[in-house]
Structure 1
């Protein structure tokens, strides 16, 4: 539901701009507000799970997301829509880390890859179905339905969660973790400011203006201050001491570089098909569907195999394939009138490499951690993903904004993304070389 929502709303931004008679820059805040709320709430995930239990946190997140969807569908102007999207973000920010933590706790470490493969199913469904479903809803109904479609899904999810998720008692009053208030006041605003600055810098194609530079630097300073403090206190909001585990640290760095290149490149294909090839948004969405399918299917196979093969070898192979596919896409993006199937095929190669890398790396990084560290690990992975996806998007946007435009800029942006994927091979070399 949350992955579908993000992809659908991105497709619907021009339609929302028309419906509310608001500039596109204003309507883009519907996406930005969601991201900022998500960044602000993710750091509380581990503490909340320890305080009231993972199941209750997950149910709360589902209620917030579904309620936010209903409110967004009832929005009467752009500011109200932006506010209600923030409510959605508060719920959406908890769904992934809490869901991952529950999965890690329930799974046998020897079969963690299989569990992660199941957890990755939304990555198969979202990018494939989101653009197509969003275009269909906008063409045949109205913008309200891009949010109303979440209500039946949210209702079914709540019923299933109540009935099927195992009860987990929160820690007793004496053992319950205390909320690290100074840490929260540093990390949540720091992440929000950092992601806001990166988003604005990406939109403007530069980071030199005060409106971009000040929040970016302030956010980075707050995050750095949080990190320094967390290493000195006994019960920090986010347990950074997990990075002392070699596999977890190597996994975090591998994912940071790969996420930066992979998610940063996601804005390139729609722009290429629409601006350089003159295709419609619906056609661009359909041409992107095979890549999403390749990612999802490769992830299902690779994440299961990671339980049985040497992780380092398998993940490095995925990185090489992903970087090769991205490099082929860069090469062809600069060619005039290249056949569409060739661009799609090279993008699918990149997708296969991505599916072989993302979830298998998460499984490998967390396999040896004690189950009582699952909440802290999933929270760290969620924050890591959000930061580096935003860095990648901003970096690619700046390259496009400062380049010469046209095929040359697209080619350079794809080449930078390929280089980032390739760099992930270095920290992946520090991942465990044996199973288990």
Structure 2
């Protein structure tokens, strides 16, 4: 998990650095054109390394078309809904219609899954707190992360007068810490199974974000970068353990569901966090400093909520363990 987390971090956060360099050198079209050779290389690599033979059809497998269709409508309408909210020129009626479509399709999806013999998603997994709690913590953290990623370039360029390449360099610093740190934390987690890794990571990340909020008006770049480093260290402590907790939250035969919901939840959180940050930037468009402070404050709130959820679950587990030990000694 540490190796996977480091690889994902390096890939996702090196994008702003490459994009910044391309903006300074060739302009914005290069950001899209560079995906052509990358896509071609990945296509050739996939053809050579992947098993492309047609799988044998599974007998008795009934596709959940109603569930798949209603879920697709729910996701698409949700994304358009938040995109419309961040666009201050969109009329309220259209936004309300999108919200209603999202809710209705989500309700239809739940009904379809409950009635289908082979549902697209087994809803019973949401009754497993050992799975749901880390999943919610992960969603809250990645919503906070995307708020930072969307807002930070505006602040660095608009307030600190950074070039696009320099902004990319800041993200590469974050990526470097994550790439190295995730593997170290992963090894540490394998050796010492402490229950509060993810909670500690959320706490450190919240402290870093709160420090950034307090320093955002000072324009002290050294202190601001220090706050970002603290946030990144928290991210590093959080990432590998939380992925492991999610995957171990369900039985081995449901590991594919755990993996799918982990990925879906992360992308949902990223979309939600980016939409919230865009909305804040639209509201406070006259002041980048205020917009950045508000976006970072919301990110702190997300992290604190994740901490409360995680600590509440851990306390309940500890109480159950103490009760079991007492009964064991008595009987």
| TM-score band w.r.t. shorter chain | 0.7 to 0.9
* Per-residue CA distance 1:215-256 (angstroms, 9 max, x = gap): 133213312331343234332122232223322111211112
Structure 2 distance, partners of 1:135, 1:363, is 33
386, 396, 415: which one aligns with 2:297: 415
Deviation at 1:171, TM superposition (A): 5.9
Secondary structure of 2:190's match? Answer: coil
Secondary structure of 1:307's match? Answer: helix
Secondary structure of 1:310's match? Answer: coil
Structure 1 match to 2:66:
182
174, 180, 201: which one aligns with 1:318: 201
43, 58, 70: which one aligns with 1:173: 58
- Kept in 2, the 8 Å contact 1:318–1:356? The answer is yes
* Per-residue CA distance 1:393-428 (angstroms, 9 max, x = gap): 222333333347342332222112112112111222
Structure 2: stretches of 5+ with no match in the other structure: 322-331
Judging changes above 3 Å, is the alpha-carbon distance between structure 1 residues 292 and 120 closer, same or farther for their aligned structure 2 residues?
closer
Judging changes above 3 Å, is the alpha-carbon distance between structure 1 residues 365 and 131 closer, same or farther for their aligned structure 2 residues?
closer
Structure 1 distance, partners of 2:24, 2:16, is 12
Structure showing greater Rg = 2
Secondary structure of 2:16's match? Answer: helix
Structure 2 match to 1:304:
187
* Per-residue CA distance 1:134-177 (angstroms, 9 max, x = gap): 233345457665445345544544454455557998464315x3
Structure 2 distance, partners of 1:374, 1:171, is 22
Secondary structure of 1:277's match? Answer: coil
4, 11, 23: which one aligns with 1:125: 11
Structure 2 match to 1:382:
263
192, 204, 207: which one aligns with 2:76: 192
- TM-score w.r.t. the length of structure 1 is 0.64
- Kept in 1, the 8 Å contact 2:154–2:288? The answer is no
Judging changes above 3 Å, is the alpha-carbon distance between structure 1 residues 307 and 346 closer, same or farther for their aligned structure 2 residues?
same
Q: Does 1:221 align with 2:104?
A: yes
* Per-residue CA distance 1:180-199 (angstroms, 9 max, x = gap): 11111211011011011112
Deviation at 1:277, TM superposition (A): 2.5
- Kept in 2, the 8 Å contact 1:288–1:344? The answer is no
Q: Does 1:287 align with 2:170?
A: yes
Structure 2 distance, partners of 1:171, 1:312, is 42
Structure 1 distance, partners of 2:6, 2:56, is 29
Secondary structure of 2:116's match? Answer: coil
User: Which protein, 1 or 2, shows the higher relative CO under an 8 Å CA cutoff with sep ≥ 6?
Assistant: 2
How many residue pairs were aligned? 315
Structure 1 distance, partners of 2:140, 2:129, is 17
Structure 1 match to 2:19:
134
Q: Does 1:345 align with 2:247?
A: no
Secondary structure of 1:256's match? Answer: helix
- TM-score w.r.t. the length of structure 2 is 0.82
Structure 2 distance, partners of 1:131, 1:361, is 25
Deviation at 1:358, TM superposition (A): 2.8
- Kept in 2, the 8 Å contact 1:195–1:216? The answer is no
288, 304, 308: which one aligns with 1:426: 308
Structure 2 match to 1:45:
none
